[in-house]
Amino acid sequence: MAERALRGTRLGATSYENDRNTDLAPRQEVDYTCTKGHRFTVTLAAEAEVPMTWECRNCGATALRVDGELPQTKKGKPPRTHWDMLMERRTLEDLEEVLAERLEILRAGRRKSA
């Protein structure tokens, strides 16, 4: 009899459980507003750390929590360029010497092919 009751259904496609006698996890709702004026609410777990910023659902801009302030930006080191790393290894005199050697090699190669 039980086999007939499940005939014609896809296994795993439908849950036969119900929500009676279940307690949901405690939640909190947090309001955000983006720079373009969109206001929306995000539901988070009660014990979750609430972020100050969230991506706007409408436009993708950074939204700020309604009761919050802008987070402090951390001062970081500026990115090192290739030139900065090169100058850590060599002096300008060394670089001029290497350049002169490479130019001489290139000029010698052109003389042979011409």
Phi, psi of 46 (to 5 degrees): -65, -35
Listed as own residue / partner, the contacts of 45-53 with beta carbons closer than 8 Å and 24 or more positions apart are none
The reply, when asked if residue 35 is annotated as ligand binding, is: no
| Distance from C-alpha of 12 to C-alpha of 46, rounded to nearest angstrom | 31
**Within a 10 A sphere around the Cβ of 34, how many other Cβ atoms?**
20
The reply, when asked if residue 59 is annotated as ligand binding, is: yes
Token digits of residue 79 = 């990115």
The reply, when asked if residue 56 is annotated as ligand binding, is: yes
The reply, when asked if residue 34 is annotated as ligand binding, is: yes
Q: In 3-state terms, what secondary structure has residue 44? A: strand
Which amino acids are annotated as binding site for Zn(2+), given as ranges? Answer: 34, 38, 56, 59
Which residues are known binding-site members? 34, 38, 56, 59
